[in-house]
Amino acid sequence: MPNGTIAAECDERNCVLKLAGDFGLMETGELERELTRALARQPARLVVDASGVTMMATIVIGALLAAARGLRMHGGRICLAAPSRLVLGTLKHSRLTDLLPVFDTVDAALAAT
């Protein structure tokens, strides 16, 4: 049974996916479905609020990177807000922050140009 939860909030320009709990292999399918729904809206910005994430597996980061590629094709951008030190360290160590920009808060991510 999945341990992570996802709540989506979208308006005419942006989508925010709020993640909470552990995100591993079991949660990847639901995350991919939510990302697909969000991408179908072709938002200018898709913010993944990771402030409530306690663990994020590399397969989940891969799903976020795939969504980033899809969104860029439509002129949009995906970013991550408030990840834990562990997740941020993984992204930095893998040099993925250029592809998946990181912000301290959701508001900062939405305000970025």
Pairing outcome for strands 14-23 and 102-103: unpaired
**pLDDT of res. 74:** 87
Rounded Cα–Cα distance for residues 58 and 43 (Å) = 25
What pTM was computed for the model? 0.92
**Domain span holding position 58:** 5-111
pLDDT at 2: 63
Say which amino acid occupies 28: T
**In this structure, are residues 90 and 55 in contact, taking their beta carbons and an 8 Å threshold?**
no
Q: How many domains does the chain have?
A: 1
Q: 113 pLDDT exceeds 80?
A: no
Note the pLDDT of residue 94: 86
DSSP state of 100: S
- Give the CATH number of the domain where residue 72 resides: 3.30.750.24
